[in-house]
Amino acid sequence: MPSTNTLNGGAPATIIIGSLIFSVVAIIFSAVVYWRIFSKAGYKGAMGLLMFIPIANIIVLCILAFGEWPIYRELKYLREQVVLGDQYSPFRQEFPSSP
C-alpha cells in the first residue's frame, strides 16, 4: 500500500529554498541601503559592509552618529572660503547693473 507522505515530501525543501531566497534578497537589500547611507554621509560606500560584522557594526554606527561627517567638513570649508571672498558664492546672485 503506497504511503500518502510521498506527496508532501517536497514541502520542507520548498520552505527551505524559499527561506534562503528571502534571506539572500534581504541581505542584498540591506547592503545597498547601508552603502547609500554611508555614501550620502561622505564616507566610502564600502564602509556600509561593516554593518554585517557583529562588533564593528556598533563601532561604525557610533562613528556615523557622533562623528563629523566628511560632507559637513567640506561644507564648512567651502563656507569659510566664501566668507573670506576667495571663491564665488553659490548663495549670492549677481545681477547686471541696470542702465
Look up residue 50 and give its three cell numbers: 561593516
C-alpha dist (Å) from residue 42 to 35, 60, 74, 98:
11, 14, 9, 42
pLDDT in tens, 16-61: 999 999 999 999 999 999 999 999 888 899 999 999 999 999 999 9
User: Distance between CA atoms of 42 and 74, rounded to whole angstroms?
Assistant: 9
The answer, as to whether pTM is greater than 0.75, is: no
pLDDT at 70: 87
Q: Where are the domains of the chain?
A: 12-84
